[in-house]
Structure 1
Amino acid sequence: MFWFLFLIFAFTQSPSLINAQSPQLNTSIWMEQLLPQIGNLHLYDITLPGTHDAASFIITSALSPDPAGDPLLDDIILFQIAEQFGIPVQDIIIPWAESQNRTLYEQALDGMRYFDLRAAFNGSDWFSYHFDLGLSIIEHLTGLQKFLQTHTSEILIIEVSHFAATNLTKDDLNGLRKIIMDLLSQWLYPRSDNFITINDCKKIKELL
């Protein structure tokens, strides 16, 4: 199984918003508000709220490719046969497969900071999927790009995994990498072998 783990971050110079006049957290900027409390912690010291199958808020009727790379070994063939006999498979699959009801942008506004994004390549483009295909990966990441542009104090972790494709090639994966880099490169955290604190992230951002 291939996977990517991306740490997206940016910090502002604005002070913490937690004070006597503002006792409640704003979920869209909770990391900024809690910076005095969490700034000296490592990410592994913090439990980040996240969503499972984050992109499955919209599921189409288009079947995803087989994650194992062999359509004969997948239930997809059974789904197609069932549909030919008039069995309403999609009426069962879609409600079950929709794990969320908010876009990635809205989830980020709600305070989510970890996103489980499953990616499928249909031969021409990359899409989210949960049995059936969802929206394009570009559309999903554009939503997170919008969030980072307007909420420059937060850290996001985006895991792109569970690649589904028939005969997935290196060029296909490079296409996915290009999508990610084109949309999110300015927020990607550089690779490091050291465990750093939230405040260290702020210092590194200022040097980039």
Structure 2
Amino acid sequence: MNLKRGQQWCRNIKPEESLIIYESRLFKKWSFRKAFPTSLLNGIRIEFGKSGRISELYGINLVQDFDANDRFPKPSQWMTKLYQAYDTPLNQICIPGTHDSGSYDITTFSDEDPHMWESLKKLFDYYSESYFFTPFKELVRWWAVTQGLNTYQQLSAGVRYLDIRPRKINGQLVTVHGLAGASINNIIMGIKRFLNENPREIIIFHIHEPYGMIQADIDELFQVLYENFGASIAPPQMSPSNSIQQFQNSGYQIIVLSTLDSPVFSGWSTYETLSNLWHNKNRPYPLLESITNNLVYRKNNRLHITQMTMTESPGDLKQGAIPGQPSSLRSFVRTLRYPSGFLRYAANAARSHNKRVNIVTVDFPEDDYIYAACMRENIIDINN
């Protein structure tokens, strides 16, 4: 089918067909863009539309449709409602998560991360010239804030995995992403409030990239967690293969994942219990290919994180100074348009190899239907 500008065409794909997309731009010859195995397009609609980036036309979008007739549980209690009668392992359910969960509190006045990658700092210093002498911290803030909701709001919206990147800055435990974000105390208050209201939900607290943390800082962090959650922290004897019901019936509400050791208490070792690949892809379809390949070969006895986030390049920062182009991480992320469609495609690929999508981390989950997409996958598995 040859689609001309403004033209629409819609029909169901037959199982024996292949979907191969070519593109002709500005009267140039047709060039291959993308081939989709039709077996992985179940529940997906292909839509063509603009993305807002000038380096490449991102017109091929994978879309899931959601409407008011979809019967999903209340986001604040989905574990309680969905799994009260099903003994499903924690590592076999779809869990919404946030990437750099504490970045919502980053401001122009935030302290710099003393362990910011030197290459990243040089990059922002260099491209500040493209932004008409924008102050360094303001430029970093545009590209460092990955979340618009605070911890309590994230959890209330269905998130159950938190990506926590701790530092000790000016005597305070905080999270970072280039600049200092929410304090650990702020995050813990949000978690406590949520769990007091929803005591049978389970939260994964992943201490990630704790650069520069000396043992005294680590012990302080673990002490703060123990003082607030104590016996509610899942011990190492529990595992990702335990069911939600087993955590609930034992009174465990928090799983602490880390590479750290502390005499205060023992959390779960990420080396033994977690697979977490940073895809480092700047384009939507290389990202999707990396996600699906990683899922197909995941280890079923571990928690598995699918990082559904693109990585900005030096060119993206430079183009951000051009009117109409993504000028912040949030506008850059939106050029992927429909992460929920990518999730369905990846879930179809995983299921075809007897695997499941597990933890899905995104930036700004409120901008798409990631919660609904995860719940749809969970309901499909429950019904099967």
TM-score (norm. length: structure 1): 0.74
- Which structure has more RCO (C-alpha within 8 Å, separation ≥ 6)? 1
Q: Which runs of 5+ in 2 are unaligned?
A: 1-70, 253-384
CA distance 1:27–1:76, change in 2 (3 Å): same
Indicate the residue corresponding to 1:17 in structure 2: none
Indicate the residue corresponding to 1:151 in structure 2: 198
Assess if the C-alpha contact under 8 Å between 1:66 and 1:74 holds in 2: no
- CA deviations 1:165-197 (Å, max 9, x no partner) are 3xx421111111111112222421122165322
| Residue 236 (structure 2) aligned to one of 182, 191, 194 | 191
Indicate the residue corresponding to 1:99 in structure 2: 146
The residue identity in structure 1 corresponding to 2:82 is L
The residue identity in structure 1 corresponding to 2:216 is D
Indicate the residue corresponding to 2:112 in structure 1: 63
Shift of 1:87: 5.0
Shift of 1:36: 3.9
Indicate the residue corresponding to 1:111 in structure 2: 158
3-state SS of 2:217 partner: helix
- Tell me the distance in 1 between the aligned counterparts of 2:167 and 2:159: 23
- Residue 53, structure 1, aligned to residue 100, structure 2: yes
Q: How many residues align?
A: 176
| Residue 30 (structure 1) aligned to one of 78, 94, 116 | 78
- Tell me the distance in 1 between the aligned counterparts of 2:247 and 2:183: 30
- Tell me the distance in 2 between the aligned counterparts of 1:147 and 1:74: 38
Which of the two has higher C-alpha Rg?
Answer: 2
The residue identity in structure 1 corresponding to 2:248 is K
- Tell me the distance in 2 between the aligned counterparts of 1:44 and 1:117: 20
The residue identity in structure 1 corresponding to 2:93 is I
- Residue 41, structure 1, aligned to residue 88, structure 2: yes
Shift of 1:203: 2.8
CA distance 1:34–1:63, change in 2 (3 Å): same
The residue identity in structure 1 corresponding to 2:247 is C
3-state SS of 2:225 partner: helix
Question: RMSD of the TM alignment (CA)?
Answer: 2.7
The residue identity in structure 2 corresponding to 1:181 is Y
Query: Percent identity, aligned pairs only?
Result: 24
- Tell me the distance in 2 between the aligned counterparts of 1:57 and 1:120: 16
Assess if the C-alpha contact under 8 Å between 2:166 and 2:209 holds in 1: yes
- Tell me the distance in 1 between the aligned counterparts of 2:72 and 2:94: 19
The residue identity in structure 2 corresponding to 1:35 is Y
Assess if the C-alpha contact under 8 Å between 1:52 and 1:116 holds in 2: yes
Shift of 1:135: 2.3
3-state SS of 2:91 partner: helix
- Tell me the distance in 2 between the aligned counterparts of 1:78 and 1:156: 35
The residue identity in structure 2 corresponding to 1:113 is R
Shift of 1:80: 8.4
- Residue 203, structure 1, aligned to residue 264, structure 2: no
TM-score (norm. length: structure 2): 0.42
Shift of 1:150: 1.1
3-state SS of 2:166 partner: strand
Assess if the C-alpha contact under 8 Å between 2:103 and 2:144 holds in 1: yes
Shift of 1:67: 5.6
Indicate the residue corresponding to 1:174 in structure 2: 219
- Tell me the distance in 2 between the aligned counterparts of 1:173 and 1:80: 31
